[in-house]
Amino acid sequence: MKVDYIVVGCGLAGIAFCEQLRVNKKSFVVYDNNSQCSSNIAGGLYNPVILKRFTPVWKSIEQLEIALPLYANLEKLLGVKLDYKVPVKRKLTSIEEQNDWFIALDKPELSDYMSSLLIKNNNIAIEAEYKLGKVLKTGRIDTKCLITEYKSFLIKNNLLFESKFDYDAIIFKDETVHYKSIETTNIVFAEGYGLKKNPFFKNLPLQGTKGELLTIHAPNLKLEYVLKSSVFVIPLGNDLYRVGATYEWKDKTNRVTETAKTELLNKLKLFVKCDFEVVDQVAGIRPTVSGRRPLVGKHNVYNNLFILNGLGTRGVMIGPYVASKLFNYIEKEEALDLEIDCGRFFN
């Protein structure tokens, strides 16, 4: 078999890059063995404001301009609902935070994303004495549905190999790369935290941060928006809500823990005052990088090998953006921004 690309990894980064290839008529196959869980457990929010400090998300305008049309096209391709236009509201905790909200609102890069009207809380299941600040142009991508359905699409078109990628089987020949029975021009590694086992890129400073989320059943909560306080509470429908997330830097397993469950429940009970039941708990390793900028670009020795990684906690927004940057870098020889170019670490 001869293809233009092999893509390793079918999470948010891998899917975003595959879509660049598909719409640009490039042939490809994908290798994925479900070893990485970060995309499957992602909250899936796209939100242009960092709600801890009321500051703008890096390149949020550019990211949303690419991401939202991509997910709309994927809905048509896959025949499923992916993009839920759900508001995000921030629980304000003091008069000082109310003032900070209005100070941030005056900044040009935030004025289109933050409502000038604070919202009085009328939900008796929520404690929010100092009102709520509403973020505009937000939503949730159903990442689990996206990955499941996209893999089904790949399988139907004989484009997915559900197996572990064997790095030792790569053979470089002139301008091409051979991998088992496949000849290709380029290999793109979009493996998430699995990069740590990749001999070509394992020395890049991908840290990995474990996150755990709960799903609760709360019939009396009646939230129709995402609520951000000490944790996020994300409505999923049918009185189910996703609660998260934790940040753990030492444990690099995908096992759920009682410690994380207790932490999330203690934070949740500070502002949710109705009964609820925990019905699920999941864990995964986010591909995080020091400086919070992704890893994109070419290997410093092998010109056929590329990386698309380090999406961190905002994969649904940043994934399509950096995928387009990598595609244009490879196919159109457009330079990468230095802040995302993996070459910044090779020296």
Residue 32 lies in a domain: yes
pLDDT of 347 reads 64
Q: Per the structure, how many domains does the chain have?
A: 3
pLDDT of 290 reads 78
194 with 230, same domain? no
195 with 297, same domain? yes
Instruction: Report the C-alpha gap between 282 and 244 in whole angstroms.
Output: 10
Which of 249, 270, 286 represents a domain boundary (last residue)?
A: 286
**Looking at beta carbons, which pairs linking 170-177 to residues 24 or more positions away fall under 8 Å?**
172/302, 172/304, 175/304, 176/304, 177/6, 177/304, 177/305
Residue 30 lies in a domain: yes
pLDDT of 292 reads 81
φ/ψ of residue 240, rounded to 5: -100, 145
189 with 281, same domain? no
307 with 320, same domain? yes
Residue 58 lies in a domain: no
pTM: 0.94
Strands 160-161 vs 28-31: parallel, antiparallel or unpaired: parallel
**What is the domain-level CATH number for residue 339?**
3.50.50.60
203 with 213, same domain? no
244 with 271, same domain? yes
pLDDT of 346 reads 81
DSSP string for 42-106: ---EE-SEETTTTEEPTTHHHHHHHHHHHHHHHHHHHTS--EE---EEEEP-SHHHHHHHHHHHT
Q: Which is it for the CA torsion 291, 98, 239, 145, positive or negative?
A: negative
Which of 271, 286, 301 represents a domain boundary (last residue)?
A: 286
Map tokens 């900044």 to a residue: 107
21 with 151, same domain? yes
98 with 217, same domain? no
pLDDT of 94 reads 97
119 with 243, same domain? no
Domain that holds residue 200: 2-44+144-207+290-346
154 with 198, same domain? yes
Residue 267 lies in a domain: yes
pLDDT of 74 reads 98
Q: What is the dihedral of CA 74, 77, 80, 86, to 10 degrees?
A: 30
pLDDT of 36 reads 65
Q: Which residues of the chain have pLDDT under 50?
A: none
**What is the domain-level CATH number for residue 219?**
3.30.9.10
**Which positions ≥6 away from 277 have C-beta within 8 Å?**
216, 217, 218
pLDDT of 77 reads 98
CB 276 within 8 A of CB 157: no
Residue 52 lies in a domain: no
pLDDT of 174 reads 85
